[in-house]
Amino acid sequence: MHLSVAVAKVDKWAVRQGGDTLEMIERPQGGVSLVLADGQSSGPGAKSISIWVVRKVVTELADGVRDGAAARAANDALYALRGGKVSATLAILSVDLEARALVITRCGDPPVFVRTANGDLRELTSSAPTLGFHRHARPDVDILPLKPGLVACAFTDGLVHAGSRTGRTLDVPATIEALWVASPTAQGLADGLLARAVGLDNGHPTDDTSIAVLHVLPGEGDGPRYMRAEMPVPDY
């Protein structure tokens, strides 16, 4: 099989730093994890929370800790550090080669959609509380067998709120389906969702928006790996 990952991200208009953090890491026993956190509010305060949460989760995953336990550790440590006063939503999309599974872990109900090889698109709902508010938290964990055709898409709520200033909203499932049919690639879906969201805000995003897409394809089990990143360098 082959794995294709795409991430697209934009900060709130006229804000120097967004409140989202998204990192991709290689898992110690093989596979990758995409860790996405959205800190409460926006700006530097939100960024410091989300970067802290992602770093905690990434460190745990790199130690071989399972995704659900890594999310609990981040919750407990954030609660201990800030006394339940700050919070973040968390989504982890992992291709776990030991378990031969796609593992999806959530706290605080971040939007996550899964599309199966036969074309069923569903949103994963979550009752797990936002990270950092409670002494005890149990993340929602879904485990899906790794199969060609599987697509997972996670994003922060900037995508859901796009257009709210102008009275328009994005029909997320319909947009995912339309984009996927037009261009069934991780990159096409991530970049397409971001472009639609930014378009609804007339090019001036009302919130930080991060989108991560993971696509399992048929293909050779070995060969080179590639990664590319493109980003603006602020002129301040």
Residues 160-189 that bind a second copy (CB under 8 A): 186-187
The CA-atom distances, in angstroms, between 93 and each of 3, 35, 223, 228, 233 are: 13, 7, 23, 19, 28
Q: How far is the CB of 234 from a second copy (least distance, A)?
A: 5
Query: What are the backbone dihedrals phi and psi of residue 12, each rounded to the nearest 5 degrees, phi first?
Result: -50, 140
Q: Which residues contact 140 (CB under 8 A, 6 or more apart)?
A: 105, 106, 107, 124, 126, 127, 128
Size of the site for a second copy (CB under 8 A): 56
Per DSSP, the three-state class of 168 is coil
Q: How far is the CB of 95 from a second copy (least distance, A)?
A: 7
The only residue of 180, 198, 206, 207 in contact with a second copy, by rule CB under 8 A: 198
Among 195, 188, 189, smallest CA distance to 209 is for: 195
Instruction: Give yes or no for residue 120 binding a second copy (CB under 8 A).
Output: no
Tokens 């199969």, residue?
147
Instruction: Give yes or no for residue 46 binding a second copy (CB under 8 A).
Output: no
Q: How far is the CB of 121 from a second copy (least distance, A)?
A: 22
Q: Is 54 left (phi over 0), alpha (psi -120 to 50) or beta?
A: alpha
The only residue of 43, 59, 121, 184 in contact with a second copy, by rule CB under 8 A: 59
The only residue of 32, 71, 112, 153 in contact with a second copy, by rule CB under 8 A: 32
What letter represents residue 39's amino acid?
G
Whole-angstrom Cα distance, residue 182 to residue 189?
Answer: 9
Instruction: Give yes or no for residue 78 binding a second copy (CB under 8 A).
Output: no
What letter represents residue 143's amino acid?
I
Q: Which residues contact 199 (CB under 8 A, 6 or more apart)?
A: none
Instruction: Give yes or no for residue 227 binding a second copy (CB under 8 A).
Output: yes
Q: How far is the CB of 117 from a second copy (least distance, A)?
A: 15
Q: Quick one: which segment of 59-67, 119-127, 134-142, 164-172 binds a second copy (CB under 8 A)?
A: 59-67
Instruction: Give yes or no for residue 17 binding a second copy (CB under 8 A).
Output: yes
Q: How many CA atoms lie within 13 A of 77 on its CB side?
A: 15
The only residue of 2, 85, 122, 168 in contact with a second copy, by rule CB under 8 A: 2
Residues in touch with a second copy (CB under 8 A)? 1-11, 17, 21, 23-26, 28, 30-32, 48, 51, 55, 58-59, 62-63, 95, 97, 146, 186-187, 190-191, 194, 198, 216, 219-236
